[in-house]
């Protein structure tokens, strides 16, 4: 029968999956800006109009960076959830818990509870 610490780690792992999926979904919001930039670039802009072309590139590059960064963060959060369930990579899980605190409000709550749980001695022993 699993003890309380193991149950907490399994629950935290599941919550990390949920936060990772939500992060990936919210990272898709700038796709609107990416499409706007592509439409601006491919529409009837003449070569002489450099300002609209530059703005289109800013839209495309900035939206792409935000989307890819959000997806990468989502993958890292899901990896942390997997590692929590398997009781592996204590340092990685701790670092991700601190990073999650930047994702307000859900990530902050999950990060704090993960840090509190990971700081307990019985939990540290489960990872070794």
- Domain of residue 98 covers 4-42+49-127
Checking if the pLDDT of 101 tops 60, the result is: yes
The confidence score (pLDDT) of residue 48 equals: 59
Contact between residue 27 and residue 69 where contact means Cβ atoms under 8 Å apart: yes
Q: Which two tokens stand for residue 53?
A: 């072309």
Q: How far apart are CA 18 and CA 10, in angstroms?
A: 13
Q: Which two tokens stand for residue 97?
A: 């818990």
Contact between residue 92 and residue 106 where contact means Cβ atoms under 8 Å apart: no
Q: Is residue 84 very low, low, confident or very high in pLDDT (cuts 50, 70, 90)?
A: very high
The total domain count for the chain is 1
pLDDT 10s digits, 3-25: 888 899 999 999 999 999 999 99
Residue 93, C-beta contacts closer than 8 angstroms, at least 6 positions apart: 80, 83, 84, 114, 118
The confidence score (pLDDT) of residue 49 equals: 61
Neighbours of 1 (CB within 10 A): 4
């Amino acid at each position: 029968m699993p003890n309380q610490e193991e149950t907490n780690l399994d629950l935290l792992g599941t919550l990390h999956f949920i936060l990772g999926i939500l992060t990936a979904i919210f990272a898709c919001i700038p796709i609107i800006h990416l499409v706007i930039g592509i439409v601006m670039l491919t529409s009837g802009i003449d070569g002489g109009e450099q300002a609209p072309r530059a703005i289109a590139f800013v839209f495309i590059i900035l939206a792409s960076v935000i989307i890819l960064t959000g997806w990468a963060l989502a993958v890292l959060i899901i990896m942390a959830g997997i590692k929590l369930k398997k009781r592996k990579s204590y340092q990685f899980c701790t670092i991700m818990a601190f990073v999650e605190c930047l994702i307000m409000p859900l990530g902050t709550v999950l990060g704090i509870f993960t840090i509190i749980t990971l700081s307990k001695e019985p939990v540290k022993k489960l990872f070794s």
